[in-house]
Structure formats: C-alpha cells, structure tokens
Amino acid sequence: MDFGLSLASYFVLIFTLLYILKSWKKSHVTNFPPGPRCLPLIGNLHLMDFKKPHEIYLGLAKKYGPVFSFQMGTQKMVVLAGYETVKEALVNNAEDFGERGVIRILKKMDNGMGVISSQGENWKVMRRFTISTLRDFGMGKSTIEEKIAEECVSLNKYFASFKGKPFESTMILNAAVANIIVAILLGYRMEYDDPQFKRLLDLTNENIRLLGKPMVSLTNIFPLLEYFPGSHKTILKNAEELYDFIRRTFVEYLKNLDENDQRSFIDVFLVKQKEEAGSPHSYFHNENLTKLVRNLFSAGMETTSTTLRWGILLMIKYPHIQEKVQEEISRVIGSAQPMYSHRTQMPYTNAVIHEIQRVADIVPLNLGHLTTRDVTFRGYSIPKGTYIIPLLTSVLRDETQFEKPEEFYPNHFLDSKGNFVKKDAFMPFSAGRRACAGETLARMELFVFFTSLMQQFTFSSPLGPNNVDLTPITGITNSPKPHEICAVPRN
C-alpha cells in the first residue's frame, strides 16, 4: 500500500467527517427557520442555480414562507423575503441584523478593510468618514451637481459622434459615471481615452463580472478550491493591480499635500492620517485608504452606470414611455441643462427613473448581513453570526406593494392625479445601517444623466423595440446583455 496515498486518504476522511459534524451541529439549532432538506457536505447546493440564485430563493419563499433557511456547503444561512420581513429586520432591528456577512473572496480582496465588506469599529469609522467627506465634496449639493452637468456635456458629445449609427454604450457610460467619483477621490476628471482610466474601468468591470461566476461562489463555500485555477485568482490579481495604482497615487498626493487646501478625498484621508499618527488604534492607515478608494470607485461606477444602461434599454423597448419623458423634459426644462432640482417639477420622469431602478433590480441578493447576537425573529431562533440574505428582489417585486410587479409600469410611483408618490418598498440601495453610503450621490447622478440623455437623443435599436432582450446577466449584479443602441440627436 502506498503510504503517501493512505495518508492523503486519511486526511480527506477526517476533513469530510469534520464538515459533516459542523453541518450537523448547525442544522440542529432549536427552532431554526425551516428550509429544504440538506445533503452531506453540499447542503442545498443541488438546488442552486448560480445563474439566477435570486429566482431559486423566490421559489423557496413561496414554499417555506418569508423567513427560511438555506445551506451552502456547511454554511447555514437565513433568507428574508418580502418588504415587511426585510424592513422588520434591517430597519426595526437594525442592530441585530446590522453586521456585514463574510464573503471569502471579498475578505481576501479587502482584508477586512475599507467600507463595503468591513465589520465592527473599522466599518463604523470608515463609513462615518466616507459619508462626511462625500458631503464636504458636494454630495447632495450644487457643487457636485455642476460636475455631473459638466460630465453630461462630454457624454452627450460622445453619443452624438456616432450620428445615429449603432454603438455599444457600456464602457462610455461606465467612464462618465466613474468620472464623478474620480473627481471626488482624486480631485480631477479623466479623459475617456486615457489608457490608465480605461485600464481601471476594465479591471473593475471584469471583477464585477467574475464575482458572479460559479467557481467563485464555490470557492467561497469550499476554501480548498482556492488552490485550484479559476476566476477567483483573476479577481485577486486584478484587485492587486488596482491597489498598486491607488498606492502610487496617494504617495504622490502625500508629497504635495497642503493641509490648508484639501482638494480630494485622498487629501482629506491623508490629513486625518497625520492628525492621528501618534495613535496606535487609528484606522487611518494606508491599507484602509487603498481598500476604501477601490470600494468607492467600484461601487460609485457599477450600479449607477448599469442602471443607466437598463434605462436606455427600457426606453427603447417602450418608445411611448420615452416620448412621454421627452415631452415632459421639453415642457419643463426646454433646452436648459437638466438639474436635480427639476425632479420636483417632473413627476413622470421621476417615476420612470424609479421604475427603471425597481425593474433593473441591480443587486437582487443584496450584500449579505450577519446577526450580531442571538435573535428571536418572527418566532424563530437565529444564532449570533448567522449569515443573512435580505432578498431585495423580493422587496422590489412584492405584489402587496406594487400593482404590477413583473411589468415595467411607471404608474407604480404616480397617484391618480399624476403626482409623484414615494414608496417605502423602494429599496434598491438596501436599508438600515448598511444602506448604500453613496445613495444621495447615485440618485442625483441617475436623474441628471438620464434626463440629459433623453433631452438630447431619441434612442432605438437596430433590431427594433420588439426584439429588445431584457433577460439579465446575473452575477453580483444584474446587468443587461451586450447590445447596440442608436442615439439620434433631437435638435
């Protein structure tokens, strides 16, 4: 008998038994939420469709109710479905459900730093600093609105250059939206044809796409798979290249830092770092800075630009709605530059943008949460440290909150007199303690970019509206399939 082979088999057996024991212990929590029966080692993986996991959870919610369990490998999770359930957890019990769930690939990328996947005091400090600094640089104010308006000019010029002929809009919309957060982070915008800018966008786009790959999901569940080739290694390699750029950038900023003239987010962080240089417990160190800047660049670009792509696609699919939007723009704004303040006079356009966000369902699974203590929730016992999925897609498609949840129907956000109506179940930015820190900026960007594009162009498809495919590519976000559009100038 080969001694090496026997030893390897022994370790595999021990590892397997430990997995089964861990799985058994987690599955025997008294009064844990119900869920499908688990298999040894894989849990409920045999039920999962990695191309559309949110659809699997929606189906299970119909069978097991709005609070149910699901097991990925040995990790027992709790899924929350429907507006009332998600609100009760994230808003009414914000502290109990307010920690960030650990996703292995994100943990390896960010090492628990930054703001998206960090936890505890680091997250509190970085989130507070981020929101405060974004506000100082104009989030929600006219100063940042002017930057968006200026970017609209460049974006419109690019669209007009095709003279109504078909083109693919993904990269240019990414670049335009990214330039707003770049202006805050670095203190200047970047040209669309800048090779460095294009590289940063490519790296970020590829990572967003790869994060939804089955191999990455499986690696998050079974750590041993990290040692095999796959998309997870490309993600980490891309992240490191992004970090190298950020490190080089803030090192240069440090050389020319003027504490009395802070022109960028990085400047403000570096000044804070100097102020706390003597503190052994300061969170303002270089690693947090690199992770925080990458977080903001990725989050500040991806969801907003993807929503705009959905918006254009939906206007092509429903040209009568596009015409009504353009009629309101002409009547209220005319040829003036659209500004965020115009939304109060434009209920239909505002409703259309909200409905685009609802139907686009950009982050259907939300980002995972974690219970901070043992919780009794809706009659079930959920232990401390349980991974929670607040199923945002179930909120945005809740039939008790939206009359036609499966349709694109702007009247969801209009009353009988045509006035705009807010909906509590409108949660594309999540809710509670972990709601998107840049929500105010994203809302402003969406309105100004979308309205400006609709003012300047009529959009169509070379294939015609009836052949527009609204089937999403599901990864960590829901994005449209690659498609060409025609932007015909209106003047």
Q: Is the pLDDT of residue 194 over 90?
A: yes
pLDDT category at 421 given cuts 50, 70, 90 is: very high
pLDDT value of residue 2: 46
Mean pLDDT of the region 90-97: 96
Contact yes or no for 232/219 (Cβ under 8 A):
yes
Token output for 71: 């097991």
- Structure-block tokens of residue 22: 């861990």
Q: How far apart are CA 65 and CA 57, in angstroms?
A: 11
Torsion-angle region of residue 479: left (phi > 0), alpha (psi -120 to 50) or beta?
A: beta
Specify the DSSP class assigned to residue 88: I
Distance CA 246, CA 287 (A): 10
- Going through 30-155 in order, the beta strands assigned E by DSSP cover 67-72, 75-80, 99-100
DSSP 389: E
Q: Are 306 and 361 in contact (CB under 8 A)?
A: no
Q: Which of 251-265, 268-282, 352-366 has the highest mean pLDDT?
A: 352-366
3-state secondary structure (DSSP) of residue 489? strand
- Indicate if the pLDDT at residue 438 is higher than 50: yes
Among 362, 369, 368, 439, CA closest to 208: 362
For the ranges 12-16, 24-28, 111-115, the one whose mean pLDDT is highest = 111-115
Q: Which residues contact 175 (CB under 8 A, 6 or more apart)?
A: 190, 192, 197, 198, 201
Q: Where is average pLDDT lowest: 50-54, 256-260, 360-364?
A: 256-260
Q: Which of 213-217, 329-333, 459-463 has the lowest mean pLDDT?
A: 213-217
**Pair type for strands 67-72 and 75-80:** antiparallel
Higher pLDDT, 124 or 256: 124
The pTM assigned to this predicted structure is 0.92
Residue 18: what pLDDT?
60
pLDDT per position as a tens digit, 352-403: 999 999 999 999 999 999 999 999 999 999 999 999 999 999 999 999 999 9
- The pLDDT of 303-332, averaged and rounded, is 97
CA distance 312 to 487: 10
CATH architecture under which domain 112-361+397-489 falls = Orthogonal Bundle (1.10)
The DSSP bridge partners found for residue 161 are: none
Cα dihedral sign, 250-253-257-262: negative
478-479/473-474 β-pairing = antiparallel
* CA dist list (Å): 296 to 145, 291, 303, 328: 18, 9, 11, 34
pLDDT-based confidence at residue 258 (cuts at 50, 70, 90): confident
Task: Give the list of residues 6+ apart from residue 471 with CB closer than 8 angstroms, or none.
Answer: 481
3 state SS of 419: coil
Least confident of 31-45, 117-131, 398-412, 463-477: 463-477
Higher pLDDT, 181 or 143: 181
Residue 417 CB: number of other CB atoms within 10 A? 6
Instruction: Say which residue, 416 or 137, is predicted with more confidence.
Output: 416
In sequence order, the β-bridge partners of residue 69 are 78
Q: Which residue has the tokens 């894989």?
A: 42
Overall average pLDDT of the 164-173 stretch = 95
CB neighbours (10 Å) of residue 28? 8
Q: Which of 119, 109, 129 is nearest to 243 (CA)?
A: 109
Interval 466-478: pLDDT, tens: 899 999 988 788 9
- Chain mean pLDDT for the chain: 91
Q: Measured between alpha carbons, how far is residue 404 from residues 71, 340, 471 in Å?
A: 32, 28, 18
Residue 191 has pLDDT above 80, yes or no: yes
| Domain layout of the chain by residue ranges | 112-361+397-489
Structure tokens at 248: 């080089």
Structure letter (DSSP) for residue 418: S
Round to whole Å and give the CA distance between 222 and 237: 20
DSSP run (H or E) holding 62: helix 53-64
Nearest to 390 by CA among 425, 443, 430: 430
Can you give the pLDDT at residue 13? 52
Average pLDDT score over residue span 3-21: 51
Task: Give the range among 295-304, 306-315, 387-396 with minimum mean pLDDT.
Answer: 295-304
Residue 411 and residue 388: Cα distance in Å, rounded? 32
pLDDT of residue 6: 52
**Phi, psi dihedral angles at 80 (to 5 degrees):** -110, 125
